[in-house]
Amino acid sequence: MQRYSGFALARHALSHHENWQRQWRNPTPKKAYDVIIVGGGGHGLATAYYLAKEFGVRNVAVIEKGWLGGGNTARNTTIVRSNYLWDEAAALYEHAMKLWEGLSQDLNYNVMFSQRGVLNLGHTLQDMRDIQRRVNANRLNGIDGEVLDAAGVQEIVPILDCSKRARYPVMGASWQPRAGVARHDAVAWGYARGADALGVDILQQTEVTGLKIRDGRILGVHTNRGDIEAKTVGCVTAGNSGVLAGMAGIRLPLESHPLQALVSEPLKPILDTVVMSNHVHGYISQSDKGDLVIGAGIDGYNGYGQRGSYPTVEHTLQAIVEMFPIFSRVRMNRQWGGIVDTCPDACPILSKTPVKGLFFNCGWGTGGFKATTGSGHVFAASLAKGEMHPLAAPFSIDRFHSGALVDEHGAAGVAH
């Protein structure tokens, strides 16, 4: 792998930038691998990268039915934070946060991780009590956080309407300064390039159509390009996980819903942090390109259409304009949806299954982008050892029968 550097940039300038190496190969599938990862989103690619880099498992294939990051990974609003309430979730997301902080260096790829801070607004007394509690819990877990009053919020975001005139006045917020955003495509590409350099085969345009199971053990996958064998298979297919599980006769406690986002025409820099409000339900940041990136809620019904409904957009924009009257004349440029797999406790599933060698990493719902690094890391460890990593263990499917749920609805950000 050619490394990116200032020197390389200068050297390639001499040949008019026409000889840069391809970022990853396009190999033909082998007959067998040690590990197959189904799903070439950020989580799947990160899993493959850490498998090769940290756990020495290099005979790995990532199988992706479309193109890299074409699922939720490059459809999200790119918010990264770790201010979750419960110890189990906080530990997992903070593990991810620490990896984010060194990711560009580790991958030799600029993922544009920008720690511009995240505000979670409170509009009622109960919101403020919940914020107080969550920030206290965060601090006990070594996660940065502060409770701000309305004046403190106004200081950080002068264009936010913090007046008493608002229909749902801003009473304060939680503030995580280390949180921020990252360029989502770059995350997928950086991991793909890193994994490929370590020998991982990335098979795009390859769809898993069935799972080969005999005597309670996984043997490989059926694809539209033929059968591929592996004794360890990790499914990381987000909104399609229920479909994959069905191929193994397994039921997951997941429901797939469209979640949508939209971006405005580009504006001059006006918002240098991330503002989220659970109460009126809208979240917004400004990309480095200048467009406002706005996240909506999920559609209330199950769906596999990657678009999302109009009433949800309308509801979201009402909330945004209520918070930021200054944006009322801004034109929206594009809108799209992703399919998120929501879990009853708003937490992911990282788990073994009753089929030996078959693992699932899913259920990240509306908030898994921030976990890409940590999810990939602990899932890779689990696949390499055959036992769930301690940070992943609380997120086993068993919890829906034992009752040991990790209820993160309050910190999840998107109502579902």
Partner 1 sequence: MFHIYCPYCEEWREEEEFHARGQAHIQRPLDPETCSDEEWGDYLFFRDNPRGIHHELWVHSVGCRKFFNITRHTQSYEILETYRMGELPSVTAESVLPSAATAEASVANEKTEEVRA
Ligand X SMILES: Cc1cc2nc3c(=O)[nH]c(=O)nc-3n(C[C@H](O)[C@H](O)[C@H](O)COP(=O)(O)OP(=O)(O)OC[C@H]3O[C@@H](n4cnc5c(N)ncnc54)[C@H](O)[C@@H]3O)c2cc1C
CB of 141 or CB of 361, closer to partner 1: 361
Report the residue count for the chain.
Answer: 416
Residue 354 interacts with partner 1 (CB under 8 A): yes or no: yes
Dihedral sign for Cα atoms in the order 389, 392, 393, 397: negative
Count of residues that bind partner 1 according to CB under 8 A: 42
CB of 45 or CB of 339, closer to partner 1: 339
**Partner in contact with 255, chosen from ligand X, partner 1, none, beta carbon below 5 to 8 Å by kind:** partner 1
* Binding positions for partner 1, 242-281, rule CB under 8 A: 242-243, 245-256
Q: Of the listed pieces 158-166, 176-184, 353-361, 383-391, which binds partner 1 according to CB under 8 A?
A: 353-361
> From the CB of residue 129, how many other CB atoms can be counted at a distance below 10 Å?
11
Among 68, 228, 397, 406, binds partner 1 (CB under 8 A): 397
Among 309, 316, 366, 373, binds partner 1 (CB under 8 A): 309
CB of 73 or CB of 351, closer to partner 1: 351
**Partner in contact with 403, chosen from ligand X, partner 1, none, beta carbon below 5 to 8 Å by kind:** partner 1
* Binding positions for partner 1, 161-220, rule CB under 8 A: 209-216
> Cβ 230 to ligand X, closest distance in Å?
14
Residue 226 interacts with partner 1 (CB under 8 A): yes or no: no
Binding residues for ligand X, per CB under 6 A? 38-44, 63-66, 70-73, 75-79, 207-208, 236-238, 240, 259-261, 295, 338, 340, 364, 366-370
CB of 164 or CB of 401, closer to partner 1: 401
Which residue has the closest beta carbon to ligand X? 41
**Partner in contact with 113, chosen from ligand X, partner 1, none, beta carbon below 5 to 8 Å by kind:** none
Contacts with partner 1 by CB under 8 A lie at 209-216, 222, 240, 242-243, 245-256, 300-305, 309-311, 344, 353-355, 397, 400-403
